[in-house]
Amino acid sequence: MFIVLGIFLSQEMQGQTIDRSLVVDDLTENIPHEKIYVDYNTSLLFPGEYLLYSVYNVEEDNGEVSNFSKIAYVEMIGKDDSVIFKQKIELKNGRGSADFFVPTNTPSGSYKLIAYTNWMKNFKNAFFEGDLVVINPYQGDQKKLFQDTEVAKEIDLSTGVALKKGRREPIEQKDFLDLELSKKSFGKREQVQITIQGMEPDAAAGNYSLSVRKIGGLPAPVEVEPSQVLTKQENSSKDSGSPMLFLPELRGQIVSGRVFSGESEVSPGNRRVALSIPSYEGFAQFAITKENGQFFFNLDSGLRDESAVIEIVGNVQGNFQIQLDEEEGITTKDLKFIDYTINSEMEQEIIQRSLYNQIENAYFSLKPDTLVPVQEEIIFPKSLVETYNLDDYTRFEGVQETFLEIIKSARVIKEKDNTYVFEVRGLLGHLNMGVRPLVMVDGILVQDHSSLVNLDSNRIQTIKIIRDKIYLGPEIYQGAILVETINGDFPDFHTAPYAENVELVQPEIPKRYFKQVYNAENKNNRIPDYRYQLLWQPMVYVEENGGKIEFFTSDVDGDFEVVLEGFTPSGKPVLIRKTFTVE
């Protein structure tokens, strides 16, 4: 029996980006083309509000959910190429979600929301783009919104829609899916029930997103519809002018970098490089550098820690440095931003909305969102792990004595040069097999076994032994010794030659968004409720026969809109809007 970990792309495709000459140029023709669609809760934002969004990755040809890329990138950018935020979104079955809290230093103006996968960067203008506007009443400079343009004449304040791109009319999409409200008018803090039903057998099944938000009062840019994403643009062809090929992130995010040699006669190529993450016990990946020193790691989804250690493995002689590659975005020079203006008629609505935002943020601790727990990845099955909690035994003075007296399946050997190495017994009891074990302390790879032998044994909480052979990329180990200290602080003082502590940009953690519930006991409480966003569910799983969703109105009156959108399993775009009134 043995353990195999680490699945890598072929050697000639190592790296987040590679030279096109190293691969067949028609690779982009044989791998499915992707389209990203982003459903977001509003296209008009104030500081103190959240941009909530849900991501769909679908196949360009048929609209069906794509399981190809596992990471999507979402950015909000300004006219001056400023990046307000850039987030990584983990895709599971082609779906992901996140949010962005608009800070008070965000200038008023027009912005773009763009989204793409690493694979989509190989094609011209293949990314998703949507219009956003920020009105920041806390900044004195509003020049960007006081422009004498024709668009000011094309704004209908009664509907809150910029007519330049067409009016958002309620959609009655009753051919295969429908959405019904329990009634058309509701009181404040009253329950609303939504029924989603299919118009034919199994028609309702799918994974959608649902938003309920106040409309009217202020104009907002028209948002992209799901059906528009599937329209193949002529300029989304292969970007043959790019010298690089961006590889798809098939398992999770790609981390790439270079090993640099400080000596011209010493090559950085064919060097073994390891990546370990302190928070993940037993996790390690290995790669071999290309001739120019380039390496890459393809991290599985679910890893959340931002700190990692990358080091050169083996007996290394020379002067080397390790550097991560910067993540390359897309070219945005051809983006066209909409014109947007404000006038005196909007003053009262802007003041009221800003006041409500401040009150809501003041009571945020009473209405918190919660992070979805990340399922811990099982690196080694528990049945293969021998665990020794040292508190269950008589503690000995040193690590060497601890292994001698307590741990019978492994031992410490002193070499002729007074260094130490560990050995782990094979499943048949054999020792001295010439292959060293994988040794990790608090998730950090330990190449110099003497550093573990010299560790104060009173700092150790548990020692775990794995006796199977372990295959990690190009590395083979006879078992593993995984040590956990009491305080988990080994990475803070551990040093090793040619090791770099790096910070990884990890995907956003999904959330369960707050859902206000009123009953007889709390309906009349004095906690103010000025929610414009009554409900946001980025992942709505609808069964074949439909389903019901309930929520409560707030203390805000006016017109509200329910929007259900997404794609059916067969790739049909879905967009249904229904309105109701709160009095």
Compute mean pLDDT per 10 residues along the chain, 583 residues long, and list them. 38 43 51 89 95 94 87 94 93 94 93 94 87 87 55 42 41 68 95 85 76 91 87 52 71 89 85 87 86 89 78 85 86 84 86 94 88 66 87 93 94 91 86 83 92 93 93 88 92 82 88 92 89 95 80 96 90 90 96
Homologous superfamily of domain range 382-495? TonB-dependent receptor, plug domain (2.170.130.10)
Query: Which residues pair with residue 295 across a beta bridge?
Result: 257
Give the residue ranges of DSSP H helices in 317-474: 347-362, 399-405, 450-453
CB proximity list for 226: less than 8 A, separation 6 or greater: 37, 39, 56, 565, 566, 567, 573, 574, 575
Residue with tokens 């019901």: 548
Cα four-point dihedral sign 236, 242, 247, 253: negative
Q: Are 255 and 271 in contact (CB under 8 A)?
A: no
| Cα separation, 125 vs 330, whole angstroms | 9
Residue with tokens 């370990």: 276
Q: What is the pLDDT of residue 434?
A: 75
| Cα separation, 571 vs 57, whole angstroms | 11
Burial, 315: exposed, middle or buried (Cβ in 10 Å; 0-12, 13-18, 19+)?
exposed
Query: Which residues pair with residue 424 across a beta bridge?
Result: 410
Q: Are 71 and 504 in contact (CB under 8 A)?
A: no
Tell me the pLDDT tens digit for each residue of 381-409.
777 899 999 999 999 989 999 999 999 89
Sheet order of strands, 50-59 included: 34-40, 50-59, 95-101
Give the residue ranges of DSSP H helices in 17-142: 27-30
CB proximity list for 238: less than 8 A, separation 6 or greater: 28, 29, 122, 123, 124
DSSP for 147-169 reads ---GGGGGEETTTTEEGGG----
Q: What is the pLDDT of residue 30?
A: 65
Q: What is the pLDDT of residue 83?
A: 92
**Per-position b or e across 237-275, b if 16+ CB within 10 A of its CB:** ebbeeeeebbbbbbebbbbbbbbebeeeeeebeebbbbb
Residue with tokens 């990790």: 440
Q: What is the pLDDT of residue 61?
A: 80
Q: Are 86 and 61 in contact (CB under 8 A)?
A: no
**Paired tokens of 133:** 């506007």
- Among 204, 43, 216, 48, smallest CA distance to 547 is for 204
pTM assigned to the model:
0.85
Q: What is the pLDDT of residue 306?
A: 78
The one-character DSSP state at 364 is: G
Q: Are 411 and 433 in contact (CB under 8 A)?
A: no
| Cα separation, 253 vs 445, whole angstroms | 21
Residue with tokens 């980006």: 17
CB proximity list for 178: less than 8 A, separation 6 or greater: 196, 197, 198, 199, 576
A 10 A CB-CB count for 87 gives: 19
Q: What is the pLDDT of residue 85?
A: 94
Return the domain boundaries, the chain.
Answer: 31-237+338-374+512-582, 382-495
